[in-house]
Amino acid sequence: MEKKIVKIVLTGGPAAGKTTLLSRILKEFKQAEGWRVITIPETATDLISGFGIKPFGNCLSMLAFQDYVVEDQLHKERLALRAAQAVPEPKVLVVYDRALLDDKAYISDEEFEQVLSRFHLTTQEAMSKYDAVIHLVSCAKGAAFAYNLDNGARTESLESAVEMDDRTLRAWSAHPKLRVVDNSVDFEAKIRRALQEIFRVVGRQEPMDQKHKYLIALPDVNRLVLRYGALPFDMIQHYLVITNPGIERRIRKQKNGADSLYFYTEKHRAEDGSAWSTERPISLKDYRKYLQEADPELQPVHKVKYRFYEKGQRFEIDIYPFSGEKAVMFVYTEEQKELIPPEGIQILREVTAELAYKNKTLARTQQI
């Protein structure tokens, strides 16, 4: 079977949601489903945060800085594509946290051509390296209340962030598969829309918009695997002590095939009642460090999630070690579509709005 490699760039203005989108991609594209995700981190941030190389800050011009960025970016891309050929999975999604054309937003078109020419590239050749580009619009445009400077390499004011978003969009505007995801919806919906664009590019069934939660009788997991091809994912989530009253923090370990992934999540609540979540992948070292901040009043939530598709709907069934009779089922459907329960699943009742079935409550009660 010929290997399928899809290369997608995540770009956009500052504080647009790229890191959260990346973590969702890692969750959606499971190794057990035949996909491997290879990520290329943002080069400029690596150089600024890791190497201490800053334009102007140490007498390095922005033009000279772009030489460093392009050279490092090309090196990372070559290694990523070699890795894509080497991994055993037949399908590989290579995700770039910004890429070559992003550098064009910081210098003139003529200067960008000069930089590329030193690496024997034209703008068109650089652009053709990527199958699709997802531009997430900065929250500075339409969601300014969520703009922050949490990224140590981010120093833009709100006005500068808007300008950089415009310049970045212009830099990629000629790409034939550029998709723009704006802030006309809330943050969670924005991330879902971006995921839908990625699913279309790779030819996978898109995630559904409508989400409902049901309490069900404990199903036969062997039947889920054999009848529906359900894939089990072992997950454990810890809530961390609260350091800011407006932010709930948690970490999660998720076993994907033979690998484990680790995530750090923050759920923000504004004074007006609005809420949104941001998430980023973290290393095992960081995961262990965050474990030292686990809330002693809450127990970890351990579950095995079984995911499958049936009759145009997506089902996720969470099975908890503390419950031998019941489980929780999530159903994702298109708007207004009637639920068609899978054969063999006994629904007890819908619990979408019930606090007793939220993860944080389960961390306290350990019962459903």
Q: Write the pLDDT tens digit of every residue in 128-148.
A: 999 999 999 998 786 666 555
pLDDT digit string (tens) for 36-48? 999 999 998 888 8
User: Does the pLDDT at position 53 exceed 80?
Assistant: no
175 and 273 co-located in one domain: no
pLDDT digit string (tens) for 22-33? 998 988 887 667
Tell me which of 202, 225, 256 is where a domain ends: 202
Q: What is the pLDDT of residue 151?
A: 45
Among 125, 76, 121, residue whose Cα is nearest residue 96: 76
219 and 196 co-located in one domain: no
190 and 224 co-located in one domain: no
Give mean pLDDT, residues 82-87.
95
Is residue 340 helix, strand or coil?
coil
DSSP state letter for 51: I
Give the distance from CA 260 to its chain's centroid.
Answer: 16
Among 200, 366, 198, residue whose Cα is nearest residue 298: 366
326 and 239 co-located in one domain: yes
Domain count, the chain: 2
User: Does the pLDDT at position 183 exceed 70?
Assistant: yes
Q: What is the pLDDT of residue 244?
A: 87
Cα distance between residue 195 and residue 25, in whole Å: 7
User: Does the pLDDT at position 1 exceed 70?
Assistant: no
Decide: 210 and 313 in contact? Cβ < 8 Å.
no
User: Does the pLDDT at position 187 exceed 60?
Assistant: yes
| Assigned token pair, 197 | 């664009």
User: Does the pLDDT at position 153 exceed 60?
Assistant: no
226 and 354 co-located in one domain: yes
Which ranges of the chain does DSSP label H, i.e. alpha helix? 18-28, 43-46, 62-86, 109-117, 123-127, 158-172, 187-202, 221-228, 284-291, 359-365
Cα distance between residue 322 and residue 125, in whole Å: 56
pLDDT digit string (tens) for 159-179? 888 899 999 999 999 998 999
Decide: 355 and 361 in contact? Cβ < 8 Å.
yes
pLDDT digit string (tens) for 199-209? 999 887 776 66
Contacts with 107 (C-beta within 8 Å, 6 or more apart), sequence order = 62, 63, 66, 115
Is residue 111 helix, strand or coil?
helix
24 and 130 co-located in one domain: yes
Q: What is the pLDDT of residue 152?
A: 45
We report the CATH number of the domain holding residue 228 as: 2.40.320.10
Tell me which of 186, 202, 218 is where a domain ends: 202
Cα distance between residue 37 and residue 25, in whole Å: 8
98 and 167 co-located in one domain: yes
pLDDT digit string (tens) for 244-299? 888 999 999 998 767 888 999 998 887 766 778 888 889 999 999 999 999 999 99
Burial label for 362, CB within 10 Å (0-12, 13-18, 19+), is buried
We report the CATH number of the domain holding residue 65 as: 3.40.50.300
pLDDT band at 234 (very low <50, low <70, confident <90, very high): very high
Q: What is the pLDDT of residue 154?
A: 47
User: Does the pLDDT at position 238 exceed 70?
Assistant: yes
56 and 174 co-located in one domain: yes
179 and 266 co-located in one domain: no
Edge-to-edge strand list for the sheet holding 4-12: 35-40, 91-97, 4-12, 132-136, 178-181
Cα distance between residue 244 and residue 266, in whole Å: 11
Is residue 135 helix, strand or coil?
strand
Contacts with 47 (C-beta within 8 Å, 6 or more apart), sequence order = 53, 65, 68, 69, 72
User: Does the pLDDT at position 57 exceed 80?
Assistant: no
Q: What is the pLDDT of residue 233?
A: 87
243 and 183 co-located in one domain: no
Q: What is the pLDDT of residue 94?
A: 97
Cα distance between residue 166 and residue 12, in whole Å: 9
Range from 77-81, 146-150, 161-165, 360-364 carrying the lowest mean pLDDT: 146-150
216 and 235 co-located in one domain: yes
Give mean pLDDT, residues 103-123.
94
Tell me which of 202, 227, 245 is where a domain ends: 202
What number of other Cβ atoms are within 10 A of residue 31's Cβ?
A: 17
Q: What is the pLDDT of residue 158?
A: 74
28 and 95 co-located in one domain: yes
Q: Which domain holds residue 56?
A: 4-202
